[in-house]
Amino acid sequence: MRLLLAAGLLLLTSFQITASDIVLISGGPALRSFEKFRTASHDKYWGNFIDAAVSRAKELKSGLKPGDPIVWLVFRPSYLRRTEEDQQDYLKILEERGQIVGIAPIYFDNKDQLFALLRRDGSKDKPKISRLEYFGHSNKKCWMFDYSNRVDGGALEPLVLHVDDLDNISGSSFTSDAECVSYGCHSGEEFSQRWRMIVGRPMVGAVGKTDYSDGGIPKLSTGKGGSWAY
């Protein structure tokens, strides 16, 4: 009996150590007051990066066991500002959409909070990350959580995750076979390569622009030279 109990505890401990999280990150929308006069206007629809993450969660859940975790991180300030502009409670709406597929947002307000959420030690409370996917604005050097949403004296800290910030994300927080994808524009032109160099895990990113206009998971924009790259 003691041997069986010991074996059971060993299996339970092993399961806790090897458990891992799938992490989806949603950046925020632009304000229409900043965008409406642009020739190429962004985010006429507020929920591009919400619907994409929810669609992806639904797709991923079809291959997961019941109860397997999907962690959904959402940049809150942009949705609060767009709520004020449009007079719609977008936090409530996005929470309801997540509830349909069984995910609940965990909000972050700046990149330091994001770093803390991505800091994992493989324990039961902080399992390592087996998959990370980003939905939001970006350029070749940055994830842009708050694109065209706030003018803050030129300060980048609340707005972007720059390649020079990647030292704050440890490869030890990820499983050895972790897969990462950035669905922002131009990520595959530099950000993905720097991620792999610094974080130590491959990241798929777009060469060229991505298009969220059809809803759900984005695709490459039509045009010459668009591709996915590591």
Domain coordinates in residue numbering, the chain: 19-229
CA distances from 139 to 6, 54, 136, 210 (A): 52, 23, 10, 11
Cα separation, 74 vs 140, whole angstroms: 21
Place of tokens 């530099």: 190
pLDDT tens digits along 106-148: 999 999 999 999 999 999 999 999 999 999 999 999 999 987 6
Q: What is the pLDDT of residue 45?
A: 86
Cα separation, 216 vs 198, whole angstroms: 30
Q: What is the pLDDT of residue 67?
A: 72
Is residue 189 very low, low, confident or very high in pLDDT (cuts 50, 70, 90)?
very high
Residue 137, C-beta contacts closer than 8 angstroms, at least 6 positions apart: 27, 30, 42, 143, 144, 145, 147, 184, 185
Is 60 exceeded by the pLDDT of residue 27? yes
CB contact at 8 A, 190 and 117: no
Q: Does 19-229 carry CATH code 2.20.200?
A: no
66: left (phi over 0), alpha (psi -120 to 50) or beta: beta
Is 60 exceeded by the pLDDT of residue 15? no
φ, ψ for residue 128, nearest 5 deg: -70, 165
Q: What is the pLDDT of residue 44?
A: 79
Chain centroid to Cα 18, Å, comes to: 22
Is 50 exceeded by the pLDDT of residue 204? yes
pTM for this prediction: 0.86
